[in-house]
Structure 1
Protein backbone atom coordinates (compact mmCIF):
# COMPACT_ATOMS: atom_id res chain seq x y z
CA UNK A 1 0.00 0.00 0.00
CA UNK A 2 1.61 3.29 -1.06
CA UNK A 3 2.17 6.23 1.25
CA UNK A 4 -0.74 8.58 0.93
CA UNK A 5 -2.96 11.33 2.25
CA UNK A 6 -5.47 9.73 4.61
CA UNK A 7 -7.65 12.65 5.73
CA UNK A 8 -8.36 16.22 4.65
CA UNK A 9 -10.55 19.09 5.80
CA UNK A 10 -11.41 22.65 4.78
CA UNK A 11 -12.46 24.96 7.60
CA UNK A 12 -13.03 28.56 8.61
CA UNK A 13 -11.42 28.76 12.03
CA UNK A 14 -13.16 25.87 13.85
CA UNK A 15 -16.13 25.68 11.45
CA UNK A 16 -15.65 22.65 9.21
CA UNK A 17 -16.90 23.35 5.69
CA UNK A 18 -15.95 20.03 4.07
CA UNK A 19 -13.89 16.97 4.97
CA UNK A 20 -13.12 13.46 3.80
CA UNK A 21 -11.34 10.50 5.37
CA UNK A 22 -10.00 7.28 3.88
CA UNK A 23 -9.63 5.69 7.30
CA UNK A 24 -11.58 5.11 10.48
CA UNK A 25 -10.39 6.54 13.77
CA UNK A 26 -10.17 9.95 15.37
CA UNK A 27 -8.14 11.88 12.80
CA UNK A 28 -10.98 14.38 12.49
CA UNK A 29 -10.99 15.02 16.25
CA UNK A 30 -7.25 15.67 16.26
CA UNK A 31 -7.62 17.96 13.24
CA UNK A 32 -10.40 19.89 14.95
CA UNK A 33 -8.16 20.46 17.98
CA UNK A 34 -5.46 21.77 15.68
CA UNK A 35 -7.96 24.13 14.03
CA UNK A 36 -8.81 25.53 17.44
CA UNK A 37 -5.17 26.55 18.00
CA UNK A 38 -4.21 27.88 14.56
CA UNK A 39 -3.01 31.47 14.10
CA UNK A 40 -5.19 33.80 12.04
CA UNK A 41 -2.40 34.98 9.74
CA UNK A 42 -1.45 33.11 6.58
CA UNK A 43 0.99 30.31 7.37
CA UNK A 44 2.18 26.80 6.59
CA UNK A 45 3.02 24.37 9.36
CA UNK A 46 3.25 20.62 9.93
CA UNK A 47 2.41 18.88 13.21
CA UNK A 48 3.89 15.44 13.80
CA UNK A 49 1.98 12.71 15.62
CA UNK A 50 3.99 9.48 15.78
CA UNK A 51 3.93 8.00 12.23
CA UNK A 52 1.51 10.58 10.87
CA UNK A 53 1.76 14.29 10.13
CA UNK A 54 -0.94 16.96 9.97
CA UNK A 55 -0.05 19.53 7.31
CA UNK A 56 -1.76 22.92 7.57
CA UNK A 57 -2.19 25.77 5.09
CA UNK A 58 -3.88 28.92 6.41
CA UNK A 59 -5.00 31.29 3.66
CA UNK A 60 -7.10 34.44 4.20
CA UNK A 61 -8.94 33.05 7.20
CA UNK A 62 -9.48 29.59 5.75
CA UNK A 63 -7.59 26.50 6.89
CA UNK A 64 -6.77 23.61 4.59
CA UNK A 65 -5.53 20.58 6.53
CA UNK A 66 -4.52 17.06 5.59
CA UNK A 67 -3.12 14.09 7.47
CA UNK A 68 -0.55 11.94 5.71
CA UNK A 69 1.84 9.18 6.61
CA UNK A 70 5.19 10.53 7.78
CA UNK A 71 7.06 8.66 5.03
CA UNK A 72 5.07 10.65 2.46
CA UNK A 73 7.16 13.73 3.21
CA UNK A 74 5.91 17.32 3.00
CA UNK A 75 6.27 18.33 -0.64
CA UNK A 76 3.30 16.43 -2.06
CA UNK A 77 0.92 17.05 0.90
CA UNK A 78 1.44 20.80 0.57
CA UNK A 79 1.02 20.58 -3.20
CA UNK A 80 -2.30 18.87 -2.42
CA UNK A 81 -3.28 21.66 -0.02
CA UNK A 82 -2.43 24.31 -2.61
CA UNK A 83 -4.52 22.41 -5.13
CA UNK A 84 -7.64 22.08 -2.98
CA UNK A 85 -7.30 25.73 -1.87
CA UNK A 86 -7.40 26.83 -5.51
CA UNK A 87 -10.30 24.51 -6.33
CA UNK A 88 -12.29 25.52 -3.25
CA UNK A 89 -11.87 29.26 -3.82
CA UNK A 90 -12.61 28.85 -7.52
CA UNK A 91 -15.83 26.98 -6.74
CA UNK A 92 -17.17 29.07 -3.85
CA UNK A 93 -15.09 32.23 -3.55
CA UNK A 94 -13.59 33.70 -0.37
CA UNK A 95 -16.66 35.80 0.44
CA UNK A 96 -19.14 32.91 0.49
CA UNK A 97 -16.83 30.85 2.66
CA UNK A 98 -16.79 33.56 5.32
CA UNK A 99 -20.52 33.14 5.97
CA UNK A 100 -20.99 29.43 5.29
CA UNK A 101 -22.37 27.23 8.05
CA UNK A 102 -20.76 24.00 9.22
CA UNK A 103 -20.49 21.33 6.50
CA UNK A 104 -22.28 23.55 3.98
CA UNK A 105 -20.00 22.40 1.16
CA UNK A 106 -19.43 18.84 2.34
CA UNK A 107 -21.87 17.19 -0.07
CA UNK A 108 -20.16 18.67 -3.11
CA UNK A 109 -16.57 19.21 -2.06
CA UNK A 110 -15.90 16.01 -0.10
CA UNK A 111 -15.87 14.14 -3.42
CA UNK A 112 -13.31 16.63 -4.73
CA UNK A 113 -11.14 16.02 -1.67
CA UNK A 114 -11.38 12.27 -2.24
CA UNK A 115 -10.49 12.51 -5.91
CA UNK A 116 -7.52 14.81 -5.31
CA UNK A 117 -6.26 12.68 -2.40
CA UNK A 118 -6.13 9.67 -4.71
CA UNK A 119 -4.51 11.72 -7.47
CA UNK A 120 -1.69 13.08 -5.32
CA UNK A 121 -1.07 9.64 -3.81
CA UNK A 122 -0.89 7.70 -7.06
CA UNK A 123 -0.11 9.99 -10.01
CA UNK A 124 3.62 10.77 -10.51
CA UNK A 125 2.64 13.90 -12.43
CA UNK A 126 1.43 15.45 -9.17
CA UNK A 127 4.98 15.76 -7.86
CA UNK A 128 6.30 16.85 -11.24
CA UNK A 129 3.81 19.72 -11.39
CA UNK A 130 4.77 20.81 -7.89
CA UNK A 131 8.45 20.85 -8.83
CA UNK A 132 7.73 23.07 -11.82
CA UNK A 133 5.84 25.48 -9.57
CA UNK A 134 8.80 25.75 -7.23
CA UNK A 135 7.13 23.92 -4.38
CA UNK A 136 10.33 22.10 -3.46
CA UNK A 137 12.12 25.21 -2.25
CA UNK A 138 9.00 26.52 -0.51
CA UNK A 139 8.58 23.37 1.57
CA UNK A 140 12.02 23.83 3.11
CA UNK A 141 10.72 26.89 4.97
CA UNK A 142 7.71 25.15 6.52
CA UNK A 143 7.81 24.94 10.30
CA UNK A 144 7.52 21.44 11.74
CA UNK A 145 6.33 21.00 15.33
CA UNK A 146 5.13 18.19 17.53
CA UNK A 147 1.37 18.15 17.89
CA UNK A 148 1.71 18.64 21.65
CA UNK A 149 2.64 22.25 20.86
CA UNK A 150 -1.00 23.02 20.05
CA UNK A 151 -2.47 21.21 23.03
CA UNK A 152 -2.90 22.40 26.58
CA UNK A 153 -0.08 21.53 28.96
CA UNK A 154 -0.45 17.96 30.16
CA UNK A 155 -3.09 17.17 27.56
CA UNK A 156 -2.52 14.27 25.22
CA UNK A 157 -4.43 12.98 22.23
CA UNK A 158 -3.75 9.50 20.92
CA UNK A 159 -4.24 9.32 17.18
CA UNK A 160 -6.18 6.22 16.16
CA UNK A 161 -6.03 5.17 12.53
CA UNK A 162 -7.78 2.07 11.23
CA UNK A 163 -7.14 1.27 7.58
CA UNK A 164 -9.13 -1.97 7.55
CA UNK A 165 -12.18 -0.58 5.78
CA UNK A 166 -9.98 1.30 3.35
CA UNK A 167 -8.03 -1.84 2.49
CA UNK A 168 -11.26 -3.76 2.01
CA UNK A 169 -12.72 -1.05 -0.20
CA UNK A 170 -9.51 -0.91 -2.24
CA UNK A 171 -9.63 -4.70 -2.64
CA UNK A 172 -13.27 -4.54 -3.69
CA UNK A 173 -12.50 -1.76 -6.16
CA UNK A 174 -9.64 -3.79 -7.62
CA UNK A 175 -11.84 -6.88 -8.06
CA UNK A 176 -14.62 -4.77 -9.54
CA UNK A 177 -12.27 -3.09 -12.00
CA UNK A 178 -10.73 -6.45 -12.93
CA UNK A 179 -14.19 -7.88 -13.56
CA UNK A 180 -15.12 -4.91 -15.71
CA UNK A 181 -11.90 -5.22 -17.68
CA UNK A 182 -12.47 -8.94 -18.23
CA UNK A 183 -16.01 -8.31 -19.44
CA UNK A 184 -14.83 -5.47 -21.69
CA UNK A 185 -12.14 -7.68 -23.24
CA UNK A 186 -14.72 -10.45 -23.78
CA UNK A 187 -17.04 -8.10 -25.65
CA UNK A 188 -14.13 -6.78 -27.68
CA UNK A 189 -13.23 -10.32 -28.72
CA UNK A 190 -16.86 -11.05 -29.63
CA UNK A 191 -17.00 -7.94 -31.81
CA UNK A 192 -13.78 -8.86 -33.60
CA UNK A 193 -15.02 -12.42 -34.21
CA UNK A 194 -18.30 -11.05 -35.59
CA UNK A 195 -16.46 -8.62 -37.87
CA UNK A 196 -14.14 -11.38 -39.05
CA UNK A 197 -17.09 -13.68 -39.74
CA UNK A 198 -18.81 -10.99 -41.81
CA UNK A 199 -15.62 -10.36 -43.78
CA UNK A 200 -15.21 -14.09 -44.48
CA UNK A 201 -18.83 -14.37 -45.65
CA UNK A 202 -18.37 -11.37 -47.94
CA UNK A 203 -15.22 -12.89 -49.42
CA UNK A 204 -17.00 -16.22 -49.97
CA UNK A 205 -19.91 -14.41 -51.63
CA UNK A 206 -17.59 -12.44 -53.91
CA UNK A 207 -15.69 -15.58 -54.94
CA UNK A 208 -18.90 -17.47 -55.70
CA UNK A 209 -20.30 -14.48 -57.56
CA UNK A 210 -17.19 -14.30 -59.73
CA UNK A 211 -17.14 -18.05 -60.45
CA UNK A 212 -20.86 -18.46 -60.98
CA UNK A 213 -22.97 -15.31 -60.96
CA UNK A 214 -24.57 -12.98 -58.42
CA UNK A 215 -27.60 -15.30 -58.52
CA UNK A 216 -25.43 -18.39 -57.88
CA UNK A 217 -26.30 -20.00 -61.23
CA UNK A 218 -23.14 -22.01 -61.86
Structure 2
Protein backbone atom coordinates (compact mmCIF):
# COMPACT_ATOMS: atom_id res chain seq x y z
CA UNK A 1 0.00 0.00 0.00
CA UNK A 2 2.93 2.33 0.66
CA UNK A 3 2.49 5.96 1.69
CA UNK A 4 -1.13 7.09 2.03
CA UNK A 5 -0.92 10.57 3.54
CA UNK A 6 1.62 13.40 3.77
CA UNK A 7 1.78 16.77 5.52
CA UNK A 8 4.23 19.69 5.65
CA UNK A 9 3.93 22.04 8.62
CA UNK A 10 5.65 24.89 10.45
CA UNK A 11 5.22 24.03 14.10
CA UNK A 12 1.54 23.07 14.31
CA UNK A 13 0.58 25.17 11.27
CA UNK A 14 -0.14 22.96 8.27
CA UNK A 15 1.22 24.44 5.03
CA UNK A 16 0.42 21.64 2.56
CA UNK A 17 -0.99 18.14 2.69
CA UNK A 18 -2.29 15.36 0.48
CA UNK A 19 -4.19 12.16 1.17
CA UNK A 20 -4.18 9.29 -1.30
CA UNK A 21 -7.30 7.72 0.17
CA UNK A 22 -10.27 8.50 2.40
CA UNK A 23 -8.92 8.71 5.95
CA UNK A 24 -8.91 10.88 9.08
CA UNK A 25 -5.11 10.85 9.13
CA UNK A 26 -5.11 14.64 8.83
CA UNK A 27 -6.87 15.00 12.20
CA UNK A 28 -4.49 12.61 13.94
CA UNK A 29 -1.44 14.20 12.29
CA UNK A 30 -2.39 17.62 13.63
CA UNK A 31 -2.84 16.17 17.10
CA UNK A 32 0.65 14.69 16.86
CA UNK A 33 2.05 18.08 15.87
CA UNK A 34 0.39 19.67 18.89
CA UNK A 35 1.76 17.05 21.29
CA UNK A 36 5.39 16.74 20.18
CA UNK A 37 7.51 18.45 22.85
CA UNK A 38 10.25 21.02 22.20
CA UNK A 39 11.58 22.49 18.98
CA UNK A 40 14.61 20.28 18.45
CA UNK A 41 15.25 18.41 15.24
CA UNK A 42 13.82 14.92 15.48
CA UNK A 43 12.97 11.72 13.65
CA UNK A 44 10.18 9.70 15.19
CA UNK A 45 7.54 7.12 14.30
CA UNK A 46 4.20 6.36 15.93
CA UNK A 47 2.14 3.24 15.28
CA UNK A 48 -1.64 3.26 14.99
CA UNK A 49 -3.17 -0.12 14.21
CA UNK A 50 -1.32 -1.38 11.11
CA UNK A 51 -0.35 2.11 9.99
CA UNK A 52 2.62 4.18 11.11
CA UNK A 53 3.04 7.96 11.24
CA UNK A 54 6.63 8.90 10.41
CA UNK A 55 7.82 12.40 11.28
CA UNK A 56 10.93 14.42 10.45
CA UNK A 57 11.48 17.88 11.92
CA UNK A 58 14.42 20.00 10.76
CA UNK A 59 15.01 23.72 11.38
CA UNK A 60 11.43 24.27 12.48
CA UNK A 61 9.91 22.57 9.42
CA UNK A 62 8.04 19.32 10.00
CA UNK A 63 7.29 16.75 7.34
CA UNK A 64 5.00 13.87 8.27
CA UNK A 65 3.56 10.90 6.44
CA UNK A 66 1.35 7.93 7.19
CA UNK A 67 2.37 4.61 5.66
CA UNK A 68 1.41 0.99 5.88
CA UNK A 69 3.56 -0.89 8.38
CA UNK A 70 4.82 -3.11 5.54
CA UNK A 71 6.57 -0.06 4.03
CA UNK A 72 9.24 -0.28 6.74
CA UNK A 73 11.19 2.85 7.71
CA UNK A 74 13.75 3.48 4.99
CA UNK A 75 11.25 4.35 2.25
CA UNK A 76 9.01 6.65 4.37
CA UNK A 77 12.00 8.56 5.78
CA UNK A 78 13.58 8.82 2.34
CA UNK A 79 10.26 10.27 1.19
CA UNK A 80 10.25 12.77 4.07
CA UNK A 81 13.81 13.83 3.27
CA UNK A 82 12.94 14.36 -0.39
CA UNK A 83 9.83 16.38 0.47
CA UNK A 84 11.74 18.53 2.96
CA UNK A 85 14.42 19.37 0.37
CA UNK A 86 11.88 20.14 -2.35
CA UNK A 87 9.81 22.32 -0.03
CA UNK A 88 12.80 24.36 1.15
CA UNK A 89 14.15 24.76 -2.39
CA UNK A 90 10.76 25.89 -3.66
CA UNK A 91 9.73 28.33 -0.94
CA UNK A 92 12.88 29.28 0.97
CA UNK A 93 12.29 31.63 3.88
CA UNK A 94 8.65 32.10 2.88
CA UNK A 95 7.86 28.99 4.94
CA UNK A 96 8.41 30.98 8.15
CA UNK A 97 5.68 33.52 7.36
CA UNK A 98 3.23 31.55 5.22
CA UNK A 99 -0.44 31.34 6.17
CA UNK A 100 -2.05 27.98 6.97
CA UNK A 101 -2.26 25.92 3.79
CA UNK A 102 -0.55 28.76 1.94
CA UNK A 103 1.35 26.32 -0.28
CA UNK A 104 -1.34 23.65 -0.56
CA UNK A 105 -2.66 24.43 -4.04
CA UNK A 106 0.77 24.03 -5.61
CA UNK A 107 2.67 21.65 -3.35
CA UNK A 108 -0.10 19.08 -2.81
CA UNK A 109 0.55 17.96 -6.39
CA UNK A 110 4.22 17.40 -5.52
CA UNK A 111 3.18 15.37 -2.47
CA UNK A 112 0.88 13.26 -4.63
CA UNK A 113 3.57 12.59 -7.26
CA UNK A 114 6.25 11.71 -4.72
CA UNK A 115 3.87 9.50 -2.73
CA UNK A 116 3.19 7.49 -5.87
CA UNK A 117 6.88 7.31 -6.75
CA UNK A 118 8.04 6.15 -3.30
CA UNK A 119 5.08 3.77 -2.96
CA UNK A 120 5.34 2.00 -6.29
CA UNK A 121 8.61 2.65 -8.14
CA UNK A 122 11.29 0.05 -7.27
CA UNK A 123 13.96 2.63 -8.13
CA UNK A 124 12.99 4.58 -5.01
CA UNK A 125 14.18 1.75 -2.76
CA UNK A 126 17.09 0.81 -5.01
CA UNK A 127 18.54 4.33 -4.84
CA UNK A 128 18.29 4.43 -1.07
CA UNK A 129 19.86 1.00 -0.73
CA UNK A 130 22.82 2.29 -2.71
CA UNK A 131 23.06 5.33 -0.45
CA UNK A 132 22.79 3.14 2.61
CA UNK A 133 20.12 3.34 5.27
CA UNK A 134 20.14 6.79 6.84
CA UNK A 135 21.85 6.72 10.24
CA UNK A 136 19.08 8.65 11.97
CA UNK A 137 16.51 6.12 10.76
CA UNK A 138 18.42 3.22 12.32
CA UNK A 139 17.83 4.73 15.75
CA UNK A 140 14.15 5.52 15.29
CA UNK A 141 12.01 3.53 17.69
CA UNK A 142 8.39 3.01 16.74
CA UNK A 143 6.20 3.96 19.69
CA UNK A 144 2.48 3.53 20.08
CA UNK A 145 0.58 6.69 19.29
CA UNK A 146 -1.04 6.54 22.73
CA UNK A 147 2.27 7.75 24.16
CA UNK A 148 2.05 11.05 22.33
CA UNK A 149 -1.72 11.56 22.46
CA UNK A 150 -3.46 12.04 25.78
CA UNK A 151 -5.94 9.31 26.60
CA UNK A 152 -8.97 11.57 26.22
CA UNK A 153 -7.75 12.92 22.88
CA UNK A 154 -7.05 9.63 21.21
CA UNK A 155 -8.82 9.13 17.88
CA UNK A 156 -9.32 5.87 16.11
CA UNK A 157 -7.65 5.85 12.72
CA UNK A 158 -10.24 5.41 10.01
CA UNK A 159 -9.01 4.31 6.62
CA UNK A 160 -11.41 3.52 3.81
CA UNK A 161 -11.34 -0.13 2.77
CA UNK A 162 -10.39 0.96 -0.71
CA UNK A 163 -7.01 1.86 0.78
CA UNK A 164 -6.21 -1.84 0.59
CA UNK A 165 -6.16 -1.43 -3.18
CA UNK A 166 -4.02 1.71 -3.13
CA UNK A 167 -0.69 -0.02 -3.70
CA UNK A 168 -2.20 -2.25 -6.39
CA UNK A 169 -3.65 0.83 -8.07
CA UNK A 170 -0.24 2.53 -8.09
CA UNK A 171 1.40 -0.57 -9.55
CA UNK A 172 -1.38 -1.13 -12.08
CA UNK A 173 -1.11 2.44 -13.36
CA UNK A 174 2.65 2.12 -13.73
CA UNK A 175 2.39 -1.23 -15.49
CA UNK A 176 -0.32 0.21 -17.74
CA UNK A 177 1.95 3.10 -18.71
CA UNK A 178 4.78 0.69 -19.46
CA UNK A 179 2.45 -1.52 -21.51
CA UNK A 180 1.18 1.46 -23.51
CA UNK A 181 4.75 2.57 -24.11
CA UNK A 182 5.76 -0.92 -25.25
CA UNK A 183 2.78 -1.18 -27.60
CA UNK A 184 3.47 2.31 -28.97
CA UNK A 185 7.11 1.48 -29.75
CA UNK A 186 6.11 -1.82 -31.33
CA UNK A 187 3.58 -0.03 -33.56
CA UNK A 188 6.23 2.53 -34.51
CA UNK A 189 8.66 -0.23 -35.47
CA UNK A 190 5.97 -2.03 -37.50
CA UNK A 191 5.03 1.20 -39.25
CA UNK A 192 8.66 1.92 -40.13
CA UNK A 193 9.12 -1.63 -41.41
CA UNK A 194 5.98 -1.38 -43.57
CA UNK A 195 7.12 1.96 -44.99
CA UNK A 196 10.53 0.50 -45.87
CA UNK A 197 8.91 -2.52 -47.56
CA UNK A 198 6.56 -0.27 -49.55
CA UNK A 199 9.49 1.94 -50.61
CA UNK A 200 11.44 -1.12 -51.75
CA UNK A 201 8.46 -2.39 -53.74
CA UNK A 202 7.93 1.03 -55.32
CA UNK A 203 11.63 1.21 -56.21
CA UNK A 204 11.56 -2.25 -57.82
CA UNK A 205 8.38 -1.46 -59.78
CA UNK A 206 9.74 1.86 -61.01
CA UNK A 207 13.02 0.23 -62.02
CA UNK A 208 11.12 -2.47 -63.91
CA UNK A 209 8.89 0.06 -65.70
CA UNK A 210 11.79 2.32 -66.57
CA UNK A 211 14.06 -0.32 -68.08
CA UNK A 212 11.52 -2.99 -68.95
CA UNK A 213 12.33 -6.58 -69.82
CA UNK A 214 14.84 -7.17 -72.58
CA UNK A 215 12.94 -7.81 -75.90
CA UNK A 216 14.13 -10.76 -78.01
CA UNK A 217 15.69 -9.82 -81.40
CA UNK A 218 13.73 -10.75 -84.58
CA UNK A 219 16.86 -10.81 -86.79
What SS does structure 2 have at the residue aligned with 1:53? strand
- Normalization by structure 1: what TM-score? 0.83
User: How many Å apart are 1:153 and its aligned residue?
Assistant: 2.7
Distance in 2 (alpha carbons) for counterparts of 1:157 and 1:173? 33
- CA gap of 1:110–1:163, structure 2 versus 1, over 3 A, is farther
- Normalization by structure 2: what TM-score? 0.82
User: How many Å apart are 1:74 and its aligned residue?
Assistant: 0.6
Structure 2 residue aligned with 1:216: none
Distance in 2 (alpha carbons) for counterparts of 1:35 and 1:210? 87
Structure 2 residue aligned with 1:9: 7
Measured against aligned partners, the alpha-carbon deviations of 1:28-66 in whole angstroms (never above 9, x if no partner) come to 111111111123210000000010000000111111000
1:184 paired with 2:168, answer: no
Measured against aligned partners, the alpha-carbon deviations of 1:117-171 in whole angstroms (never above 9, x if no partner) come to 1111222222232234343443221132111112113432111111528949939
Work out whether residues 66 and 81 of structure 1, in 8 Å CA contact, stay in contact via their aligned partners in 2. Answer: yes
Distance in 1 (alpha carbons) for counterparts of 2:78 and 2:174? 27
Count of matched residue positions in the alignment of Structure 1 and Structure 2: 210
1:147 paired with 2:148, answer: no
Distance in 2 (alpha carbons) for counterparts of 1:122 and 1:17? 25
Structure 1 residue aligned with 2:67: 68
What SS does structure 2 have at the residue aligned with 1:67? strand
Work out whether residues 5 and 19 of structure 2, in 8 Å CA contact, stay in contact via their aligned partners in 1. Answer: yes
- CA gap of 1:32–1:72, structure 2 versus 1, over 3 A, is same
1:119 paired with 2:120, answer: no
Structure 2 residue aligned with 1:38: 36
What SS does structure 2 have at the residue aligned with 1:135? coil
Work out whether residues 43 and 136 of structure 2, in 8 Å CA contact, stay in contact via their aligned partners in 1. Answer: no
User: How many Å apart are 1:191 and its aligned residue?
Assistant: 5.2
Query: Which runs of structure 2 are paired with 1:135-174 in the superposition (5 Å)?
Result: 135-164=133-162, 167=165, 170=169, 173=173
Measured against aligned partners, the alpha-carbon deviations of 1:46-89 in whole angstroms (never above 9, x if no partner) come to 00001000000011111100000001111110011011111111
